[in-house]
Amino acid sequence: MVAITAVASFAIPDFSFGFHLRLMRFIFIFLGYIAGFFGIALGIFVYLCILTNLKSFGVPYMAPYAPVTKVNSNGYFLEPVWRREKRADYLNTKKEKAQNHISMKWRYK
């Protein structure tokens, strides 16, 4: 379990995001001490509620999952840059097309 936690903590890209993890770890240990497994489960739920309530620059934090938005080649499977034609749905942009249908015209000629 500890190994999985340690490896998972390497998945955080930026160093300043790591403070959040340390604080949360402390809070969850405290909850686990008070009420065991049950406390951790409740802590997870409250944490999830807070996360889904956040908005960064107007975009909800859990964007493709929480309000379910269309995934225009921006989800799990990314297309190469020259094929991404539409902008992401959760941005609510005015112009949805980011580039033309076939942008690399020289490739197909």
Partner 1 sequence: MVDKKIGNFEAIALILTVIVNHVVLNLPKNIIASSSSSSIINVLFISIIAVLIGYFVCKLLERFPRLDILDIANFLGGKWLKIITGILFLSYFLFTVSVVLRSFSEGLKIIFFPRSPVAAIMILFLLTIIITNKIGFQAIVRSNLFMMPIFVFSILFIFFANIENFTLQRMLPLLGNGAFTTFFSGLSNLFAFGGFAYLYFLPPYLKDDKGLKKITFTSIITSGICLLFSVATLLFLSPNSVITEEVFPLYLASRNIEFGRFFQRLDAVFLLIWIISLTAYLSISFSFATRVFQKLLNFEYTKWYTALFCLFIFGFALVPKNMYELIFVENVIYQYVVLILIFGVSLALLVFANIKYNLLEKKKGAVSIDKAPI
Q: Is 39 in the site for partner 1 (CB under 8 A)?
A: yes
Q: Residue from 22, 24, 27, 45 that binds partner 1 (CB under 8 A)? A: 45
Q: Is 30 in the site for partner 1 (CB under 8 A)?
A: no
Q: Is 66 in the site for partner 1 (CB under 8 A)?
A: yes
Q: Is 41 in the site for partner 1 (CB under 8 A)?
A: yes
Q: Is 82 in the site for partner 1 (CB under 8 A)?
A: no
User: Which residues does 43 contact at the CB level (< 8 Å), separation at least 6?
Assistant: 27, 28, 31
The neighbour count for residue 77, using CB atoms within 10 Å, is 7
Please state the separation of Cα 27 from the chain's center in Å. 22
Rg (CA), the chain: 20
CB of 35 to partner 1, least distance (A): 6
Q: Residue from 30, 36, 79, 97 that binds partner 1 (CB under 8 A)? A: 36
